[in-house]
Amino acid sequence: MKITHDLYTSSMALLTDLYQVTMAHSYWKAGLAEQRSVFTLFFRQNPFSGGYTINCGLDYIIDFIKSFRFSDDDIDYLRTIKASSGKPMFSEPFLAYLHDLRFNCDIDAAPEGTVLFPHEPMLRVEGPVVQAQLLETALLNILNFQSLIATKSARICQAAKGDPVMEFGLRRAQGIDGAIAASRAAYIGGCHSTSNILAGKLFDIPVSGTHAHSWVMMFEDEKEAFRRYAESMPDNCVFLVDTYDTEQGVRHAIEVAREMEEKGQRALGIRIDSGDLAYFSIMARRMLDEAGLGYMKIVASNDLDEHIIESLKIQGAAIDIWGVGTKLVTAFDQPALGAVYKLSAVEKDGIWEPRIKLSEQQIKINNPGRQQILRFVQDGQYFADAIFDPDREHTTKVSIIDPLDPTRRKKLSLQEYETEEVMIPIFRNGQCMYDSPSSGEIRNRVATQLGKLHSGVKRFINPHRYPVGLEANYYKVKTDLILKMRNLKES
């Protein structure tokens, strides 16, 4: 089922940095407001020292852009901003221009759930420079966070090795919007459910939950608390057994589960939220099995992440379902993806002229021009990616060159491999032409894409580096442009 929703029902054009609007004003005053330009959004390093990144957030971007406009209230507020002289920062004719502005750019992007790698374009905006510039902050805000969480989720689910993973980080998430976006991204990354009911409603995500320690503490006796919960929720009965003593809690859960059997009911399982999860889960599994309750599942929580889950698996922990919160929705070990948005081309006389930002750091020199990704596939596995200029022809023999190390090269044949272009049209002349899939369909796409990656790329420690390079002719364009700009600097 596909849920239709409006994440942003009114304009959020002011969700931007002040310097975007000051640049827009300057473009407008210089007569460049309608200058057609290309901006490319990409990241430089995979998060979590990993081997891949999951692209996530496009659906939010589509909703944001569909309602992009400056309202009367927005203009009234901009009118109040003063320059250092005390005069209004923005002129009235410019504010009138913003008020009448309507989005008419073209956008291409990698579909949500696509596996991407450093320096590859996640999204490309083509259109009047003012519009493209004003989108920068919001696009980065959305893609940076959601791609980070989706990637973390994929790693956690990989560690769980097929066990269900529940996301319940709402109470620890970074604000309301962050919590909702994180729940969606976590589900797309692979989690099978969320505790966040609003996210469940908005995105058709399965919701799950049990009870807290407060329920047990409300009663004088733990067993009575379990019994009363079973009476109230006989079809959703997972007992939290570590409020006082985990072993005793398991015994009480067994007693109540047997009482439920006499009524023709079945408890779903128990949850352990503290202590030595490997030891207690193995102990609980033995006790449940000896009691003839082998069908009861063991749920574990307690600040889990992919590394702890992997360790518990190695220790032989008898855990069936994993509850992950804080370290997932806050991307605990890396707070930001670090994607950037750079001007990469300007149209002159109907021809796209590439633009480049130079830096003393090689990693910070952007790829110029319009960019597309050609993914090579062999025997159902992703083999390599070529970043190329779609306006330039390439032969059936493709050479790719590592953008950071030109000695790393790979030759590829279009006749030997299957290929697919990763970036697809999303907006044309301001009109959305993309039918967003459901969250479940995007989640399935992630699983399919990860299944096509070599296992070495998915390692948590020192992952194999997936081959990504600039197509040779495109690499020459970039190199020539760098030399040209450096010669201009020297002269």
Instruction: Please give the pLDDT value at position 79.
Output: 98
d(CA 376, CA 54): 18
- Residue 261, CA distances (Å) to 216, 255, 258, 264, 284 in order: 21, 10, 5, 5, 19
Beta bridge partners of 469: 386
Exposure letters 396-408 (e unless 16+ CB within 10 A, then b): eebbbbbbeeeee
Please report, for the chain, how many H helices and E strands are present, in that order. 15, 21
Neighbours of 259 (CB within 10 A): 16
Residue 237 token pair: 């009965």
Question: In which band, very low, low, confident or very high, does the pLDDT at 85 lie, cut at 50, 70 and 90?
Answer: very high
**∠238-240-243 over CA atoms, to 5°?**
165
How does pLDDT run across 23-64, given as a tens digit for each residue? Answer: 999 999 999 999 999 999 999 999 999 999 999 999 999 999
Topology of domain 155-329, CATH: TIM Barrel (3.20.20)
Instruction: Please give the pLDDT value at position 1.
Output: 44
Which ranges of 339-455 would DSSP assign to H, the alpha helix? 439-451
The ranges of the chain annotated as CATH 3.20.140.10 are: 18-150+335-490
CA-based nearest residue to 424, from 373, 471, 368: 373
Instruction: Please give the pLDDT value at position 5.
Output: 57
Task: Tell me, letter by letter, the H, E, C secondary structure of 444-473.
Answer: HHHHHHHHCCCHHHHCCCCCCCCCEEEEHH
Q: What does the pLDDT average to over 464-488?
A: 93
Residue 382 token pair: 């992703």
Chain position carrying tokens 């995105």: 203
Please check the confidence at residue 2 and state whether its pLDDT lies above 60. Answer: no
Chain position carrying tokens 């992630």: 446
d(CA 16, CA 19): 8
d(CA 288, CA 402): 55
How does pLDDT run across 114-134, given as a tens digit for each residue? Answer: 999 999 999 999 999 999 999
How does pLDDT run across 174-224, given as a tens digit for each residue? Answer: 999 999 999 999 999 999 999 999 999 999 999 999 999 999 999 999 999
Please provide the average confidence, as pLDDT, over all residues in the chain. 95
How does pLDDT run across 444-471, given as a tens digit for each residue? Answer: 999 999 999 999 999 999 999 999 999 9
Length of the chain: 491
Percentage with pLDDT > 70 across the chain: 97
d(CA 359, CA 362): 7
Amino acid letter, residue 102: R
Q: Check: CB of residue 330 under 8 Å from CB of residue 169.
A: yes
Model confidence, pTM? 0.95
CA-based nearest residue to 200, from 446, 5, 448, 434: 5
How does pLDDT run across 347-402, given as a tens digit for each residue? Answer: 999 999 999 999 888 888 999 999 999 999 999 999 999 999 998 876 778 999 99
Instruction: Please give the pLDDT value at position 491.
Output: 63
CATH of 18-150+335-490, one of 3.20.140.10, 1.10.1520.10, 3.30.1310.10, 3.40.50.1820: 3.20.140.10
The ranges of the chain annotated as CATH 3.20.20.70 are: 155-329
d(CA 469, CA 458): 19
Please check the confidence at residue 274 and state whether its pLDDT lies above 70. Answer: yes
Residue 352 three-state SS: strand
Please check the confidence at residue 407 and state whether its pLDDT lies above 80. Answer: yes
Q: Check: CB of residue 439 under 8 Å from CB of residue 193.
A: no
Neighbours of 390 (CB within 10 A): 15
